[in-house]
């Protein structure tokens, strides 16, 4: 299943995405709200798993491609979470995204995520979609607001990072917040940033991603 926005293709994974995916997950800036960056082997294992899930389920985490340049921009999609993850006491579906830093600030995340929400509610018939982020991750919180999600005020400790570990690593992935949107409440429209450019391009000062 390929999803489409004015600037983007949300598609299945290609072998040519792997190198850019590895580099994205090695970036301390991109991964600053996660417990740690990923090693190349961890990224390769992750993208293989994501690709298999997307192929087998018909939904999951899609690769984001810029239509104009055919570049790998990042990923966006849906993940099935279980009560054993230590976040909610029920299984739930989470929407998530991650972009190469060179493509930040262009409205790509809300554009892609709103299209995934539309697909989740209208085609996959999910009733509720959740999203998770660190309380200090204001950019992701703004994306959530743009796509019509609201805060549940049910903050929680990140299950993979306790307070002592966070202090030792000088990181901030806890506590985290849960936001939620319901199918009946979701605005059925594609979110486009007010400062949206004609095409997705790497920001000045960043090398052209491959």
pLDDT in tens, 190-201: 555 444 445 777
Contact indicator for 72, 65 with CB cutoff of 8 Å: yes
C-alpha span between 159 and 114 (Å, rounded): 27
Could you tell me the residue range of the domain that residue 166 belongs to?
Answer: 3-182
3-state SS class at 107: coil
C-alpha span between 77 and 119 (Å, rounded): 10
Inside any domain, residue 10: yes
**For 65, which DSSP code?**
E
* CATH number assigned to the domain comprising residue 63: 3.40.630.30
Inside any domain, residue 94: yes
Residue 165 has pLDDT above 50, yes or no: no
Q: Tokens at residue 20, please?
A: 């850019």
Inside any domain, residue 193: no
Top-confidence residue, 136 or 195: 136
Inside any domain, residue 145: yes
Stretch 122-130: mean pLDDT: 93
State how many domains the chain has: 1
Inside any domain, residue 195: no
Stretch 39-47: mean pLDDT: 97
Q: Tokens at residue 204, please?
A: 């000045």
Inside any domain, residue 14: yes
């Amino acid at each position: 299943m390929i999803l489409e926005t004015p600037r983007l293709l949300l598609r299945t994974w290609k072998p040519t995405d792997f190198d850019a995916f590895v580099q994205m997950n090695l970036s301390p800036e991109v991964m600053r709200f996660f417990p740690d960056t990923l090693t190349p082997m961890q990224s390769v294992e992750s993208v293989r798993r994501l690709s298999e899930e997307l192929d087998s389920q018909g939904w999951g985490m899609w690769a984001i491609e810029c239509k104009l340049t055919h570049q790998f921009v990042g990923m966006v999609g849906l993940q099935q979470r279980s009560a054993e993850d230590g976040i909610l006491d029920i299984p739930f579906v989470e929407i998530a995204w991650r972009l190469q830093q060179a493509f930040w600030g262009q409205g790509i995340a809300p554009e892609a995520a709103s299209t995934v929400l539309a697909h989740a509610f209208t085609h996959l018939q999910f009733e509720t979609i959740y999203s998770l982020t660190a309380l200090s991750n204001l950019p992701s919180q703004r994306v959530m607001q743009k796509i019509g999600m609201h805060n549940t005020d049910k903050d929680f400790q990140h299950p993979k990072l306790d307070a002592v570990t966070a202090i030792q690593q000088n990181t901030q992935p806890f506590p985290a917040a849960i936001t939620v949107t319901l199918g009946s409440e979701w605005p059925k429209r594609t979110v486009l940033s007010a400062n949206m450019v004609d095409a997705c391009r790497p920001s000045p000062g960043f090398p052209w991603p491959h």
